[in-house]
C-alpha cells in the first residue's frame, strides 16, 4: 500500500489530500500541520474581523475527525516537519504538544507549506501591539485585541490585498486607519492610473493613505515615518509581503527558483520525483511570457492539488501557466486584474498597445448601474491580449473573467468585438464594455 505524506493542512494541503482520496481509495494518507486548525478559508479572515462574517467558525471547512470519518485521511495538527530525509524517504516530525520527535516514512511527499508574513526590522517595534494576518489564529488574536482593548486607531503597513481589505474592515468597526505603503502607489501590481482610482476610493471612505513612506521607528503608540512625520496608532498590522516557507525543501537540497518558490515541473514534481510542491511555496510559470512566476492565491493552489492527484493515479494533466487573476473589494468599489501590468510588460521587453474604455456596467437609464474603467494591454502585431485591469462598481468581476477566458483561448483583442455576451438593461448594454474594447482596438 502506498504511503502519502502531506506537509500543510490549509487550502493546498487539505485539498490535495481530498483530491487524491477521491481517485485513490487504497493509499494511506497522512497530513501534518504545525497550526491548531486546518482547512480554513483564509481569504475570509479580514471580513470576520470586520464582522461582515458574523460567525468566524464558519470559515473552518473541516477538522481532523471529519477528514478521518469521511475520507479515511489522518490529520495531525500541532505537528511540525523538521527535516526531509530523502535517502531514507522519511520526514522528521515534532509533536509540538509533547516535544516528541519521530520519523514518518513516505512513498510520496507533498509540500504544501504555504508562506509566512514578513515583519520588517523596525527600531522599537517590540514596544507596540503588532499583528499579522496569515492564519485563523492570527485572526482570533486581532479580534480578541479589538474586543478587549477597544482601540481607536490602527496603522497598516502595506497596501496590497490584505492591507486594503483590513483598512475597509477596520473602518467598518469605527477604527481610524493610517495605511502606509512604501511604493509610490497602492496595490503595486496595478498600473499607476488604476492604482490612483483605488487610492481615491480609500480616501473617500476616510482611510488616511500615505504612499512612498514606511514606518521607521516605533515607541509604543508613537510611530515615526521615513519622511519624518509622526502618527499615533493603538496597534499595527503588518501586511508588507509574504515569504514562501521553503526551509524544508532547501535543507533537503531541492532547487529554489528565482521567485523564491520551490521549482516544479509540469506535474508539480520537484527535482525529486517522489516529492511534489504546491501553493504559495511553489514556483510556476507565467502564461503570457513563460517566465518563472509565483502566485500566492487560492485558485492556483486548488488547481495544483487536482493536477498532483491526477499525476499520482497515472492520468496526468500538465499545468498551464498562471495569469495571477485577482480581485479585491474596496468599500463600494471593486478592483480586479489578470495577466501582465504595464510595468510587467515593459520589464519583459514586449511591445504593447493599450485600450481604455470608460462606461457603464449596464444600461445607463436603468437605476442600478455603475461606472467602470476597463484597461486592456495587447501585442500590436499578434493582437493577443497581454493583461487587463478593471475598476468600478457592479460587473467588474465578470469583465475580467471574460478577458481571462479570451487569453486562455488565445483570442485576439479584435475577437472581443464578436463575443455574444448577455444583454438586458439590468446586466449590460447592447455593446458590452468587453465588446467596446475590441472595437476601440481597431486602427
* Mean pLDDT of all residues in 177-201: 97
At 35-87, the pLDDT tens digits run 999 989 999 999 999 999 999 999 999 999 999 999 999 999 999 999 999 99
pLDDT > 90: what percent of the chain? 99
Report the side by side order of strands in the sheet with 3-7: 74-77, 28-33, 3-7, 108-111, 275-277
At 374-412, the pLDDT tens digits run 999 999 999 999 999 999 999 999 999 999 999 999 999
- Beta partners for residue 391, in sequence order: 335, 373
Lookup: cell for 128: 507596540
| pTM: predicted TM-score of the whole model, two decimal places | 0.95
**Averaged pLDDT score across all residues of the chain:** 97
Nearest 5°: the CA angle 349, 354, 358 is 150
Query: Residue 432 and residue 79: Cα distance in Å, rounded?
Result: 52
Domains defined along the chain, listed by start:
3-116+243-312 (3.50.50.60), 119-240 (3.50.50.60), 332-440 (3.30.390.30)
Query: Residue 431 and residue 342: Cα distance in Å, rounded?
Result: 26
* Mean pLDDT of all residues in 74-102: 98
Residue 155 makes CB contacts below 8 A (sequence gap 6+) with 177, 178, 180, 215, 223, 231, 233, 235, 236, 237
Query: Residue 49 and residue 42: Cα distance in Å, rounded?
Result: 12
* Mean pLDDT of all residues in 200-227: 98
pLDDT at 303: 97
Query: Residue 299 and residue 323: Cα distance in Å, rounded?
Result: 11
Q: Is the pLDDT of residue 203 over 90?
A: yes
| Locus of grid cell 482570533 | 140
Query: Residue 301 and residue 114: Cα distance in Å, rounded?
Result: 10
Concatenated DSSP letters of 20-53: HHHH-SSSEEEEEESSS--SB-GGGHHHHHTTSS
- Beta partners for residue 394, in sequence order: none
pLDDT at 419: 98
Query: Residue 170 and residue 51: Cα distance in Å, rounded?
Result: 10
| Locus of grid cell 468599489 | 333
pLDDT at 167: 98
What three-state secondary structure class fits 60? strand
Asked whether the CA dihedral 266, 268, 271, 274 is positive or negative, the reply is negative
Burial class (CB in 10 A: 0-12, 13-18, 19+), 400: buried
Q: For the CA atoms of 29, 34, 40, 43, what is the dihedral angle to 10 degrees?
A: -130
Lookup: cell for 394: 457592479
* Mean pLDDT of all residues in 236-252: 97
Lookup: cell for 338: 489578470
Residue 11's pLDDT band (cuts 50, 70, 90): confident
- β-strands 28-33, 3-7 pairing: parallel
Q: Is the pLDDT of residue 443 over 90?
A: no
pLDDT at 401: 98
User: Mind telling me the catalytic residues?
Assistant: 43
At 112-155, the pLDDT tens digits run 999 999 999 999 999 999 999 999 999 999 999 999 999 999 99
Lookup: cell for 181: 505603503
pLDDT at 173: 98
| Locus of grid cell 492610473 | 193
Amino acid at each position: 500500500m502506498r504511503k502519502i505524506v502531506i506537509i500543510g493542512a490549509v487550502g493546498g494541503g487539505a485539498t490535495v489530500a481530498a483530491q487524491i482520496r477521491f481517485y485513490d481509495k487504497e493509499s494511506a494518507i497522512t497530513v501534518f500541520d504545525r497550526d491548531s486548525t486546518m482547512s480554513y478559508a483564509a481569504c475570509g479572515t479580514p471580513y470576520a474581523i470586520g464582522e461582515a462574517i458574523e460567525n468566524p467558525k464558519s470559515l473552518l471547512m473541516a477538522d481532523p475527525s471529519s477528514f478521518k470519518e469521511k475520507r479515511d485521511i489522518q490529520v495531525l495538527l500541532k505537528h511540525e516537519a523538521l527535516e526531509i530525509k530523502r535517502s531514507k524517504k522519511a520526514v522528521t516530525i515534532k509533536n509540538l504538544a509533547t516535544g516528541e520527535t519521530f520519523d514518518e516514512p513516505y512513498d510520496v511527499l507533498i509540500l504544501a507549506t504555504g508562506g509566512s508574513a514578513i515583519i520588517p526590522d523596525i527600531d522599537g517595534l517590540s514596544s507596540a501591539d503588532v499583528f499579522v494576518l496569515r492564519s485563523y489564529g492570527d485572526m482570533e488574536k486581532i479580534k480578541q485585541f479589538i474586543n478587549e482593548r477597544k482601540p481607536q486607531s490602527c496603522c497598516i503597513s502595506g497596501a496590497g490585498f490584505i492591507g486594503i481589505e483590513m483598512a475597509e474592515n477596520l473602518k467598518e468597526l469605527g477604527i481610524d486607519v493610517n495605511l502606509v505603503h512604501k511604493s509610490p502607489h497602492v496595490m503595486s501590481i496595478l498600473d499607476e492610473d488604476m492604482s490612483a482610482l483605488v487610492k481615491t476610493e480609500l480616501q473617500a471612505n476616510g482611510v488616511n493613505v500615505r504612499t512612498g513612506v514606511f514606518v521607521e521607528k516605533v515607541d509604543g503608540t508613537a510611530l515615526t515615518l521615513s519622511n519624518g512625520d509622526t502618527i499615533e496608532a493603538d496597534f499595527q498590522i503588518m501586511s508588507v509581503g509574504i515569504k514562501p516557507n521553503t526551509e524544508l525543501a532547501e535543507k533537503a537540497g531541492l532547487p529554489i527558483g528565482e521567485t523564491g518558490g520551490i521549482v516544479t515541473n509540469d506535474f508539480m514534481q520537484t527535482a525529486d520525483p517522489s516529492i511534489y510542491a504546491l501553493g504559495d511555496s511553489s514556483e510556476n510559470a507565467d502564461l503570457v511570457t513563460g517566465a518563472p512566476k509565483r502566485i500566492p492565491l487560492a485558485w492556483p493552489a486548488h488547481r495544483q492539488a487536482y493536477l498532483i492527484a491526477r499525476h499520482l493515479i497515472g492520468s496526468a494533466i500538465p499545468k498551464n501557466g498562471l495569469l495571477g487573476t485577482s480581485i479585491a473589494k474596496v468599500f463600494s468599489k471593486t478592483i480586479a486584474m489578470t495577466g501582465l501590468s504595464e510595468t510587467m510588460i515593459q520589464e519583459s521587453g514586449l511591445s504593447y498597445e493599450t485600450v481604455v474604455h470608460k462606461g457603464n456596467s449596464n444600461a445607463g437609464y436603468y437605476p442600478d448601474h455603475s461606472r467602470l474603467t476597463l484597461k486592456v494591454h495587447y501585442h500590436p502585431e499578434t493582437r493577443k491580449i497581454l493583461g487587463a485591469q478593471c475598476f468600478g462598481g457592479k460587473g467588474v468581476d465578470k469583465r475580467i473573467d471574460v478577458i481571462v477566458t479570451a487569453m486562455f483561448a488565445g483570442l485576439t483583442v479584435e475577437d472581443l468585438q464578436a463575443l455574444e455576451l448577455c444583454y438586458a438593461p439590468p446586466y449590460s448594454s447592447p455593446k458590452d464594455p468587453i465588446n467596446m474594447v475590441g472595437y476601440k482596438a481597431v486602427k
